[in-house]
Amino acid sequence: MKKILALHTGGTISMSANDLGEVSTNKENPLLDSRFIDDNIELTNEAVLNKPSEHITPEDMLVIQKRVQQAESEDYDGIVITHGTDTLEETAYFLDLTLPNHLPIVLTGAMRSSNEIGSDGVYNFQSAILTAAADESTDKGVLVVMNDEIHTARYVTKTHTTNVDTFRTPTFGPIGLVGKRGIHYFQELIQQTVMPIDKLKHNVYLLKAYAGMPASLLECLDKADTNGLVIEGLGAGNMPLETVEAIKHLLADQIPVVMVSRCYNGVAEPIYDYPGGGIDLERMGVTFCQGLNGPKARIKLLIGISAGLKGQTLRDYISNAVS
């Protein structure tokens, strides 16, 4: 018998649509009454939050993290977290970076609300429970299960506004599948260092570069109050010429600046050696973060800074996507 704890936080999976198709949060999460029809799995439901995921803050992520940590000493074999899909990847990655992952931890959500035709919520919830209960799911890091696919929290991203097949790992695909007769894994995840944190720092920002981006967007950051900045740069990690001086000023004020790519696929690497090119930016002190998208690099920078990392130690933590 496997004991699975389901922590519910809200999102479309727990919402309902009215006659006009307008979707909103229910007062009480309907998933709290879920039963699992399997003699080998005992399911316990618990509400941690009941919010759309756009309202989830890093403080909420810490609340979820602390509840998961507590559950590790409560004799559960696996944990499922239901969550809105809009920021699911950020909460999943937050947990992945800060929890030792002794237990399988699986996040899921839905693209169609609980009373819509073809609602994917109950199905995804069931797939997540089966994944959390599978022995093979231990030591895989935090997982995201949607639409029969198992993705790592580290690299999964929401790619479509409404389609049920929205969660993808662009660079190398899912690490496993939920089959009709069980869970199948095809890839191993490289282990990473766990960064335990108790409190969060604030004011770590994310900006996206574009052709003609003015320096003023960077200059308007209050330097005294900015703890870090992630930029989704152009291509492999390059910036418009106009922004280079402003980036130098941030670095001179000891504000960590982290570069990822605004491209949907691939990794950011310093390749071009001209003003604003990646090599130029790296020479200035910009840290390249491989393989993470902007929102996840921001979560990692926030956690590194909140853990008290500084200077080269922070740069080493950020630059290696797997440790």
Residues paired with residue 81 on neighbouring β-strands, in sequence order: 7, 107
Residue nearest to ligand ASP (CB): 84
Q: Tell me the two tokens of residue 192.
A: 């990473």
Of 134 and 145, nearer to ligand ASP (C-beta) is 145
The residue annotated as part of the active site, out of 12, 25, 82, 157, is 12
207 contacts 229 by C-beta, under 8 angstroms: yes
Shortest distance (Å) from residue 291 CB to ligand ASP: 24
State the residues that interact with ligand ASP by CB under 6 A. Answer: 11-12, 52-54, 84-86, 109, 111
Shortest distance (Å) from residue 52 CB to ligand ASP: 4
Of 166 and 227, nearer to ligand ASP (C-beta) is 166
Distance, CA of 291 to CA of 296 (rounded, Å)? 10
Shortest distance (Å) from residue 109 CB to ligand ASP: 5
Question: Which residue from 278, 317, 285 is spatially nearest to 301, judged by alpha carbons?
Answer: 317
Distance, CA of 298 to CA of 318 (rounded, Å)? 10
Listing DSSP states for 233-301 in one string gives EBTTTB--GGGHHHHHHHHHTT--EEEEESSSSS-------STTSHHHHHHHTPEE--S--HHHHHHHH
Shortest distance (Å) from residue 177 CB to ligand ASP: 21
Concerning whether 12 is annotated as a catalytic residue, the answer is: yes
Q: Which residues are catalytic?
A: 12
